[in-house]
Amino acid sequence: MRVDLGSHRLHPSIEPRILADLQGLLGDRLQKRQRNGRIRLLGRWMGFPLKAADLVSRTPKGFAARVMRDALVSPFTRPREDTFSEVVRAGLGRTISETFYLPYARKIWGIDPFRLSGEQARRRVAADSFVKLAARVVRGSGAGGARGSSYFWYPERGYGAISEALAAGASDAGAELRLGERVASVEAGSERVAVATLDGERIEGDFLFSTVPLPVLAGLTGADEAVMTAARGLRIRSMVLVYLVLDASRFSTFDAHYFPEANTRVTRISEPKNYRDASDPVDKTVICAEIPCWFEDATWSATPGSLAEIVTHTISDAGLEVPAIERVHVERLRAAYPVYEAGFERHLEAIDAWVSSLPRVITFGRQGLFAHDNAHHALAMAYTAVDLLGPDGTFDLEGWEAAKRRFAMHVVED
C-alpha cells in the first residue's frame, strides 16, 4: 500500500496548463475526489472544510452568536501590530482565532502567534476575513478548503506518482536524472556554474536551478558571513510522521482528521486508502499522523513506540477506536514549514539580495524561496522558470524578479 509524506492533495486552483500536462502523463489514474475530512473542535467533530450548517448546529451554545458578534465588529477592527495573532484576530475575531487559528499556529510553527509575523497569516490563512470565510463556508469549501470547490486531484498510486510521472516525462525528453547525489559545493561564476559532488565529480552548466533550502544553498555556495548570519535567522520547522499499519480494512471513512487544538501535539491524521480508488489490500490500512517539531528536539528524537502512544492517545481522546496495530514506521522531515518569525523579512531580504547577485543560480520552491506554498505553486514556479529560459540559452532575470513578486502572493490551501 503506497502512502504519502503526510496528507497531500493536488488542489483545483492548479494552473490549467499544468493540470493538462499531469492529466496527459497520468491519464485517468489522476482521480477527481471529493474532500471528506473532519475536524476536532470544542470536544466534537465537524465536517472539514467547515459548512455553515455545522457551524450553527454542531458548535456549543452561544458559539455561533459570539462569531456573529465578532463579524459585526470586525470591519472596524485593525491589527494593533503586524503579528499573526493580531492579523487573524482583526480579520476573523476573537472567537474563531482563539478556538482555531492561534492554538493551531502555535503547534504548527512552534512559537507563540504574537511572535510570528503578520505575513504568516496573509500567506497561510486563505480565509482571513469574515467576508472570505463566509463565501467559503457558504460554498462548502470551508476555512481550509480549496478556492471555490471541495474537490481535489489525487493519483491512484499515491501523491508520489505525480513526481514519478514528471520524472519519466523528463527522462523521455532527454533529461538525465540522478537521485541521492550528495552535493559538496556550488561554484557560482558569472558565465558558468558548477556543482561538485562528495564523490569528487564536477558537473558544469549554464544555469543551476535549485530547490534545496535557501540556507543550505548559501552554505554550499560559500556565501559570506553576513549572508550566513541571515540564513541562520530563517527558522524551518521539522515534522515527524508516524505511520501505523492497522489490522483492519479501514480506520474510518474520512480521508483526514484535523486536530487544531492544544490538547495533542498531532495536527492531522490521514488515511491514504481513502484518498483514492485503488486496488489497495482489503484487510489492512495505514494511517499517518503529522507531529510538527524542531530538528533534534525531544519529539524528533522520540522512539517509534512513544510516538505511536501519542497518536493512539490522540485517537482515543477524540472518542475513536484504535484497531490492532501491526507495525509502526516513522519518517522525519527536517525541512517541513518555513517559520515567519517576526523580523524574518530582514534576513530573507539579505539572502534574496545575495542570491539575486548570482546570475547563473535560480532558486525556487518552498524551501528555495522560503515561501509557504503548495505543490501546484512549486510547479507554477518551475513552469515560469522554463518560460523565461530562451532558446538561445539566456535567462530573463528581470522577468524572474517580477515573477518572484507574483509568487509572494501565493496563499496555501490546506
State in angstroms the smallest separation of the CB of 290 from ligand FAD: 5
Report the residue number, 94 or 372, with the smaller CB distance to ligand FAD: 372
Applying CB under 6 A, does 373 fall inside the site for ligand FAD? yes
Applying CB under 6 A, does 380 fall inside the site for ligand FAD? no
Cis peptide before 49 (omega within 30 of 0): yes
Reported in sequence order, the residue ranges of 142-201 that DSSP labels E, i.e. its strands, are 151-155, 183-188, 193-197
Stretch of residues binding ligand FAD (CB under 6 A), selected from 56-64, 120-128, 280-288, 370-378: 370-378
Q: How far apart are CA 54 and CA 145, in angstroms?
A: 15
State in angstroms the smallest separation of the CB of 381 from ligand FAD: 8
State in angstroms the smallest separation of the CB of 220 from ligand FAD: 8
- Contact of 363 with 217, CB cutoff 8 Å: yes
Closest CA to 265 of 244, 239, 246, 235: 239
Residue selected from 94, 360, 366, 410 as contacting ligand FAD according to rule CB under 6 A: 366
Applying CB under 6 A, does 216 fall inside the site for ligand FAD? yes
Report the residue number, 186 or 308, with the smaller CB distance to ligand FAD: 186
- Contact of 343 with 119, CB cutoff 8 Å: no
Phi, psi of 45 (to 5 degrees): -95, 140
Please name every residue paired with 287 in a beta bridge, in sequence order, or none if there are none. Answer: 244
Stretch of residues binding ligand FAD (CB under 6 A), selected from 95-103, 108-116, 308-316, 375-383: 375-383
Report the residue number, 18 or 64, with the smaller CB distance to ligand FAD: 18
State in angstroms the smallest separation of the CB of 386 from ligand FAD: 15
Q: Which three-class secondary structure state does DSSP give residue 269? A: strand
Residue selected from 95, 99, 363, 367 as contacting ligand FAD according to rule CB under 6 A: 367
Applying CB under 6 A, does 365 fall inside the site for ligand FAD? yes
Applying CB under 6 A, does 6 fall inside the site for ligand FAD? yes
Dihedral, 354, 357, 360, 365 alpha carbons, nearest 10: 40
Of 151-210, which residues contact ligand FAD (CB under 6 A)?
A: 183
Residues 6+ apart with CB under 8 A from 404: 352, 369
Report the residue number, 22 or 336, with the smaller CB distance to ligand FAD: 336
Residue selected from 231, 315, 336, 380 as contacting ligand FAD according to rule CB under 6 A: 336
State in angstroms the smallest separation of the CB of 152 from ligand FAD: 8
Cell numbers 463565501 correspond to 135
- Contact of 277 with 302, CB cutoff 8 Å: no
State in angstroms the smallest separation of the CB of 371 from ligand FAD: 8
Q: Which three-class secondary structure state does DSSP give residue 162? A: helix
Stretch of residues binding ligand FAD (CB under 6 A), selected from 59-67, 302-310, 360-368, 396-404: 360-368
| 40 membership: H or E segment, kind and range | strand 37-41
**Which single residue brings its beta carbon nearest to ligand FAD?**
365
State in angstroms the smallest separation of the CB of 289 from ligand FAD: 11
Report the residue number, 19 or 52, with the smaller CB distance to ligand FAD: 19
Between the alpha carbon of residue 322 and those of residues 146, 151, 244, 251, the distances in Å are 30, 28, 10, 8
Applying CB under 6 A, does 9 fall inside the site for ligand FAD? yes
The C-alpha R_g of the chain, in whole angstroms, comes to 22
SS3 content of the chain, % helix, strand, coil (to 5): 40, 20, 40
State in angstroms the smallest separation of the CB of 30 from ligand FAD: 14
State in angstroms the smallest separation of the CB of 398 from ligand FAD: 23
Of 39-58, which residues contact ligand FAD (CB under 6 A)?
A: none
State in angstroms the smallest separation of the CB of 145 from ligand FAD: 12
State in angstroms the smallest separation of the CB of 379 from ligand FAD: 8
Report the residue number, 47 or 91, with the smaller CB distance to ligand FAD: 47
Upper half-sphere CA count for residue 392 (Cβ side, 13 Å): 2
Q: How far apart are CA 397 and CA 380, in angstroms?
A: 17
Q: How far apart are CA 81 and CA 400, in angstroms?
A: 32
Of 232-261, which residues contact ligand FAD (CB under 6 A)?
A: 239
- Contact of 365 with 404, CB cutoff 8 Å: no
Closest CA to 378 of 367, 387, 389: 367
Stretch of residues binding ligand FAD (CB under 6 A), selected from 3-11, 17-25, 77-85, 124-132: 3-11
Upper half-sphere CA count for residue 373 (Cβ side, 13 Å): 24
Q: Which residues bind ligand FAD (CB under 6 A)?
A: 6-9, 11, 183, 211-213, 216, 239, 290, 335-336, 365-368, 373-376, 378
